[in-house]
Chain A
Amino acid sequence: MNPQQESDFDSGALKPYYGKLFPFADMFKWMSYGHDGKHPGCDQSYFGRREFSFTLKGDFYLRFQSYNNVLELENSIKDKCPLKIDIGPVYTVDPAKRHAYAQSDNSVFTPVERELIFDIDMTDYDDIRYCCKGADVCLDCWPLMTVAIKVIDTSLRDEFGFKHILWVYSGRRGVHCWVCDGKARRLTNEQRSAIAEYYRVYKGNENSHKKVSLTGGALHPFLATSYTNVLKDYFEKKLLTNQNLLATEERYEKILSMIPDESIASELRGRWQDNRRSTSAKEDINVVRWEQCKQLLQSGKHKAQGLRRCVEEIVFSYTYPRLDMEVSKHMNHLLKAPFCVHPKTGRVCVPIDPNRCDEFDPTTVPTLFQILEELNNEGLRADVNGAEWSGTSLGNAVRLFRSSFLEPLQKACKEEIERSYNLKLQQSKNSIGW
């Protein structure tokens, strides 16, 4: 975004975005989890106990906003025109009225439901990407995010049994994940921590030796499947060459330092230092060197020494997802809402289809200005559905949100409400009978 656009963004581009395009109804349906229906089992207070937070122009930060219905939500957002919308947990009571309850017992105002969330940010990979640093991303490093989505999404579904998972582009350099199944929303902090830990392979902290350490006689099935189905291929076919991981001395030394056997490391170092020219020009130097490295580490004579695991450790170090653990561990962490616009890039936080995450390209995600322009070009051609966004590139994003996430979620929520209502009926009948 150029400086001119940036100031436009502040001064007014968000107004028409919230005014005509932002999918309020979809957000409301999502956050209601079926309680917006007419069924007697619906909890009408549910949506109103959810915390929203806004970052406003001039750096005001509003926490503990809450709304009883979609109209209130819509009016408030249109009115305040926040640069960023964050979503917090569902509390025991309406968060806006928390002070009224605070007098009595401090356990009255406390979070009771919260999606299980994950935040993966490219800056956490800065030590293993050489294409860009910090806030930038490009197509050479984005595969790291693709790997993260594949590994975590598969495990959440197959191992933890979750079904309603939403992946969202964070607008700049990462992805967010929202796990929305009822049982995910009701996890305790301890259970959330356990899941986050399950995904952690890095041991150590800033003040001891930090590294991937895979011990034991075999890899846990989760790590083994992730390795064979995702990590290995992405490492060998994409990241190795994209990032030129073995092309220069500085870079290959980093990998050599991960080999515990000094004699193998120095043998490789020797070969790589003086045979640059002998490698044929048409083969990529990274690929050639990786083959040599693997061959030496996996050759028969080293098998017994546990060095085979070293190949896997290298691959894990350069590909395995790095989660911001704190975000996932606590119920009351806030996370940016989907469909927000990133104030620095102007890009919309659009959903990502995990089944087609390979095709996702962060550099072509629609920006606010692009969408507004499309809207202008559309002119006054009224849409049959009445939705202004449907003719813009935001349309695809909203349609994906509905078809792959919202509709199946709503169906499941209605069934769950029905089920627990019937159960309660049954119980009260029984107790009368007795």
Chain B
Amino acid sequence: MEIVRPHSHRNLFSSNDAAPAPTIPLYRSAPPLEVRLEDFESFAIDRLRVLKGISDGLSRGKKPDEMEKLVSELWKVNMRHQHASEVLNKDIISHFVLRLVYCRTEDLRKWFLSMECALFRYRFRFLTTEAQRAIMDEFDITCKAVNIMEFESIKEKLGQVARSMGQPLPTGDAIFYKVPFEDVPELVAGRRVLLSQGYAYVAMNQVVSLVATLFRSQLSKTLILTNSVYICCRKWTSSIREQEKHRLTPIVEALCSSYLGPDFSQPKEYAEISLKDIDQLAKTSFPLCMRHQFDKLKEDHHLKHGGRMQLGLFLKGVGLNLDDALAFWRAEFSKKVGLEKFEKEYAYTIRHNYGKEGKRTDYTPYSCYKIISSTPGAGDHHGCPYRHFSEENLRAALSRMGVNSRATEDVMNKVRNRHYQLACTLTFEALHGVPCDAGINHPNQYFSDSQKILHPKKDSST
């Protein structure tokens, strides 16, 4: 982590005891503070509640304004402190504890990174203009404002962009920032900025997106430097009293597993499935997203990249070993593209998913959150049907699964309220005739819960 720059202190800590004006620390360096072990754990759990709440909100497909409300609630409830002056410290300490916990694997890092960025983004919106400016200064944005002459020359096009988004035309005193397009990928992807010669013109009300990207890349860099995070955090936690240190590891372990649910990356021994059972299993125990792709694959003998990843990793998670997986995909794809093309263009990805080629990461099956937030395009069959199907198609798919019409109405109701995972849970309950109290959070959980119900005795052997 970088050395603390003297002037960033001013922003991070307020020396007097009066309640500081709300701001967001940029977490550039670990706090030089004494941390009590109790705080270490409780602060972290409070922050996790916030992040988990954000994650749930996003996977339910909440709209930005609903998210804004949600985040502000979560923050208020969980991150307060009886001493107003301690609020900022709690913010910083909890962030660094979670960093320590979440920097261990690629998947944990990714989850933490996207939740922290979502949090940052919503908090930024609540700040006063001055506080926002202070943060923009930290990221050297303020100096990139477009001058009057340039503004006049592109005013018309800026107006066109604004109208294309249904927003009012920029007035004469509107401020725009001219930044490399690379810094605002989200605005570029949505065609929400004017681009010219490699620069994007970012309106004041879009600055949050720019700041969030910069925040993200700063945080991401520090998380990738796994070792330095460890070292830094170890140095920092050495301020914890010596005799309490042995208690630290179990706390970190517990924090790590408690909120992310079971780990589906390693198939359990007992769950090993064989190729010949797979058709039957697809009918009885696959969630709709996987069932749909499975059927499409059998029908078209092909799935595009997103589908191969989503279904392939799921199958790995349910216990299909690499050889069987290759045989499975080969049997279908070769009907369409031929054996040769399969071996040279597709077999690689499958081995890759099992960590046999390329980067040696063992890819983890996608969670509902990840699937629901994906954006399937033309020709794609991946994604979550509850989220990505038209009503018609979803109804047809549910009836093919064997969901009766009354249950279908309940499911559609949840879908209309954008509770996709709840819709999936209701489908599960309708098909299995048993309540699923935990709800569906992961396609592999759907599968294993289903198997537990259908083959209760197998489960007891573990």
Chain A residues with a Cβ under 8 A of chain B: 55, 59, 61, 63, 102, 106-107, 109-110, 124, 158-162, 183, 187-188, 190-191, 193-195, 197-198, 200, 202, 204-210, 215-224, 322, 325-326, 332
Contact = CB atoms under 8 A, between A and B. Distances in A.
B164 A219 contact: yes
A161 B292 CA distance: 42
Interface stretch (B95-103, B193-201, B453-461): B193-201
Contacts of B385: 207
Interface in B324-343: 339-340, 343
A220 B191 contact: yes
Interface stretch (B125-133, B263-271, B374-382): B374-382
B400 interface: no
A216 B305 CA distance: 31
A210 B378 contact: yes
B189 interface: yes
Nearest to B382: A205
Given A207-B385, A207-B389, A209-B390, A59 B160 contact: no
Given A106-B359, A161-B198, A207-B385, A193 B185 contact: yes
A219 to B, nearest CB: 6
B316 interface: no
Contact of A325 (B157, B186, B190, B377): B377
Interface of B: 157, 160-161, 163-166, 181-182, 185-186, 188-191, 194-199, 224, 292, 304-306, 339-340, 343-344, 348, 358-361, 376-381, 383, 385, 388-390, 393
A204 B344 contact: no
A207 B381 contact: yes
Given A161-B197, A208-B390, 20 more contacts: A59-B339, A59-B343, A63-B348, A159-B195, A161-B198, A191-B188, A194-B189, A197-B189, A200-B377, A204-B378, A205-B388, A206-B378, A208-B389, A216-B165, A217-B163, A218-B163, A219-B160, A219-B164, A221-B160, A223-B191
A224 B376 CA distance: 26
A195 B188 contact: yes
B62 to A, nearest CB: 20
* Most B C-beta atoms less than 10 A away, residue of A161, A193, A205: A205
19 contacts: A59-B339, A61-B343, A106-B360, A107-B359, A109-B360, A110-B359, A158-B197, A160-B181, A162-B198, A193-B189, A206-B379, A207-B292, A208-B390, A210-B378, A215-B166, A217-B164, A217-B166, A219-B160, A326-B305
A205 B380 contact: yes
Contacts of A197: 188-190
B47 to A, nearest CB: 25
Chain A residues touching B, majority SS: loop
A4 B161 CA distance: 57
Contacts of B359: 106-107, 109-110
Contacts of A218: 160, 163-164
B161 A202 contact: no
A194 B344 contact: no
Contacts of A200: 377
Nearest to B216: A190
Contact of B166 (A55, A102, A161, A216): A216
A73 to B, nearest CB: 21
Contacts of B361: 106
A297 B165 CA distance: 23
B160 A107 contact: no
Contacts of A61: 343-344
A198 B304 contact: no
Given A102-B360, A190-B185, A197-B189, A160 B163 contact: no
A184 B139 CA distance: 23
A91 to B, nearest CB: 10
Closest 10 CB pairs of A and B: A161-B198, A61-B344, A194-B185, A197-B189, A59-B340, A218-B163, A159-B195, A217-B163, A194-B189, A205-B376
Contacts of A204: 378
A124 B393 CA distance: 23
A322 B348 CA distance: 26
B360 A187 contact: no
Nearest to A59: B340
* Most A C-beta atoms less than 10 A away, residue of B197, B359, B383: B359
B379 A205 contact: yes
Contact of A224 (B160, B166, B189, B348): B160
A188 B224 CA distance: 15
A180 to B, nearest CB: 15
A195 B185 CA distance: 8
* Most A C-beta atoms less than 10 A away, residue of B306, B340, B378: B378
Given A198-B189, A202-B377, A221 B157 contact: yes
A160 B199 CA distance: 7
Given A207-B393, A221-B161, A159 B378 contact: no
Contact of B191 (A124, A209, A222): A222
A370 B434 CA distance: 71
* Most B C-beta atoms less than 10 A away, residue of A160, A224, A332: A160
Contact of A216 (B163, B379, B383): B163
B197 A206 contact: no
B313 to A, nearest CB: 16
Contacts of A107: 224, 359
A158 B157 CA distance: 14
A205 to B, nearest CB: 4
